[in-house]
Homo-oligomer: A and B are copies of this chain.
Amino acid sequence: MKPDEFRRVGHEVIDWIADYRERIETFPVLSPVAPGWVRDHLAPLPEQPEHGFDGLLHDLDTVVLPGTTHWQHPSFFAYFPSNASLPSVLGDLLSTGLGVQGMLWATSPAATELEQHLMAELAKAMALPDHFEGVIQDTASSAALVAVLTALHRHGDDWRNKGVRGDEVVYVSGQTHSSLAKATRIVGLGEDNLRSIEVDPDTLAMNADALAAQVARDRADGLRPILVCASIGTTSTGAVDPVEAIADLCAAEDLWLHVDAAWAGPAALLPEHRHLFAGVERADSFGANAHKWLLTAFDLSLYWTAHPDTLVQALTILPEYLRNDATESGAVVDFRDWQVPLGRRFRALKLWAVVRWYGLEGLRQHLRGHIALAEALEAKVEHSRDWLTAAPRSLALLTIRHRDGDQATRDALLRINASGEAYVTHTVVNGHFAIRVAIGSETTEARHVDALWNRLEA
């Protein structure tokens, strides 16, 4: 494709996306297709070139869109909304258009330095401490894995060569994201070395005393505690673990403290919610996703660490073909050593585009708007004869259940999702099936939440 063809077809593609976003509310949020339907409608790959996007755009309209669950729909309340705001789409387009690969500083200095700049500036805006050094990971799962690997290196006897001992223990709560269990498995400890600490039944926050007791038991058993993951905003209900108390324990016991704020992290931009982040400045690592609540297209996970040197030591390997003068000068950072994969995209551009388009103040308004919508919904639930909150509202996440029990809650969820008018997903809170209403799409307005509520009350 020549640049001039790109110009012509590119304008068509931009218009297709603009049209899609304009008419997104005409689609059922959750795709209604049956398994296999999409695949059955796809043609074999062509031998000869098509030299145009007409066929592809036609197939998008007729095959892909019916099979699409519309994450950018304003009535997407499932999981956590993952905003691909339009400035972030264009920032990502610029990155792909440049087509650079920033594994080393030398392979594209701007990719590394813009990322460093953004991470430092965001840390300031989020009141994170000066000693945090940031890097972009793909997802919070990878960030958690990197945290565990760094902790293993720090606590190991030559872990890089000898591997795990098998006595290292990782601590989470029963509400922690499953990526920590996956990381514990991946690093070779096995889930037997993962301790799931009990939570307070009301707040669903980790019980710091139970954590301390478990660490003491494990030490008495000759095991080696290495890391605690505290969550600020769990996936299930948005619970906030007592980071201060956990940080005290981690300091006393020399444990790595990873704070997972994948969803709630951007709320650190709001001074009125910064108390949720008390203690974060004592973390060894801290993660927050820009691709959930910070308007940035998936994937872009913000990861800060207080120990970049330990991270680099844990992950660096230098084959001959990657040696270069800039690296050997020690004057640059090579982000390949801060992550699992070698190659890396220029992800910073899409976040830069978002922050510049909206401004930090625009981002704060966006967050506050969602929290206000969740508060309004909470007030309705409190006055409802049928529904009650299953857990305390956390920022813009509300978890509710029907007073008539699990079956009524489940029926309501199925009814809503089958209607195509909204999409919600569930969790289980203290044994009760509950609907999560996660408010966070850029285009969600009061009328969308009201329509959901009317369906719930129906």
**Most chain B Cβ neighbours within 10 Å, of A15, A20, A96, A141:** A96
Are the C-beta atoms of A236 and B100 separated by less than 8 Å? Answer: no
Are the C-beta atoms of A321 and B97 separated by less than 8 Å? Answer: no
Are the C-beta atoms of A31 and B110 separated by less than 8 Å? Answer: yes
B-chain residues with CB within 8 Å of residue A141 when the two chains form the complex: 340-343
Are the C-beta atoms of B17 and A10 separated by less than 8 Å? Answer: yes
B-chain residues with CB within 8 Å of residue A360 when the two chains form the complex: 45-47
- Is A90 on the interface with B (CB-CB < 8 A)? yes
Closest residue of B by beta carbon distance from A295: B1
Are the C-beta atoms of B343 and A340 separated by less than 8 Å? Answer: no
Question: A355 contacts which of B3, B6, B46, B121 (Cβ < 8 Å)?
Answer: B46
Question: A50 contacts which of B66, B178, B319, B357 (Cβ < 8 Å)?
Answer: B357
| Size of the chain A interface, CB-CB below 8 angstroms | 156
Q: Tell me which of A182-190, A222-230, A240-248, A449-457 binds B.
A: A182-190
B-chain residues with CB within 8 Å of residue A298 when the two chains form the complex: 99, 101, 343, 345
CA distance in complex: A291, B96 (Å):
12
Are the C-beta atoms of A21 and B36 separated by less than 8 Å? Answer: no
- Is A428 on the interface with B (CB-CB < 8 A)? yes
- Is A385 on the interface with B (CB-CB < 8 A)? no
B-chain residues with CB within 8 Å of residue A310 when the two chains form the complex: none
B-chain residues with CB within 8 Å of residue A97 when the two chains form the complex: 13, 16-17, 20-21, 84, 89
* This chain's copy number in the assembly: 2
Are the C-beta atoms of A84 and B55 separated by less than 8 Å? Answer: no
B-chain residues with CB within 8 Å of residue A182 when the two chains form the complex: 315, 317, 340, 342
Q: Tell me which of A68-76, A273-281, A368-376, A386-394 binds B.
A: A68-76
Are the C-beta atoms of A96 and B93 separated by less than 8 Å? Answer: yes
Are the C-beta atoms of A321 and B38 separated by less than 8 Å? Answer: no
Contact with B along A246-277 (1 / 0, CB 8 A): 00000000000000000000000000000000
- Is A426 on the interface with B (CB-CB < 8 A)? yes
CA distance in complex: A343, B141 (Å):
8
Known: A86-B5, A93-B96, A138-B138. A50 touches B361 (CB 8 A): no
Question: A113 contacts which of B36, B110, B321, B352 (Cβ < 8 Å)?
Answer: B36
B-chain residues with CB within 8 Å of residue A342 when the two chains form the complex: 139-141, 178-179, 182
Contact with B along A86-104 (1 / 0, CB 8 A): 1111111110111111000
- Is A14 on the interface with B (CB-CB < 8 A)? yes
Are the C-beta atoms of B31 and A3 separated by less than 8 Å? Answer: no
CA distance in complex: A110, B422 (Å):
19
B-chain residues with CB within 8 Å of residue A179 when the two chains form the complex: 342
CA distance in complex: A16, B185 (Å):
45
A48 to chain B, nearest CB (A): 4
- Is A356 on the interface with B (CB-CB < 8 A)? yes
In the A-B complex, the 8 residue pairs with the smallest Cβ-Cβ separation, listed nearest first, are A188-B188, A84-B99, A163-B190, A67-B110, A17-B97, A10-B14, A164-B188, A1-B86
- A-B contacts, 18 of them at CB < 8 A, read A7-B18, A31-B110, A38-B113, A49-B359, A67-B108, A68-B108, A69-B106, A71-B98, A71-B101, A72-B99, A84-B98, A92-B92, A139-B341, A141-B342, A159-B185, A159-B190, A161-B190, A185-B317
Can you name 8 extra interface pairs (CB under 8 A) apart from A38-B109, A160-B185?
A3-B19, A6-B90, A35-B105, A35-B329, A50-B356, A60-B94, A160-B191, A166-B166
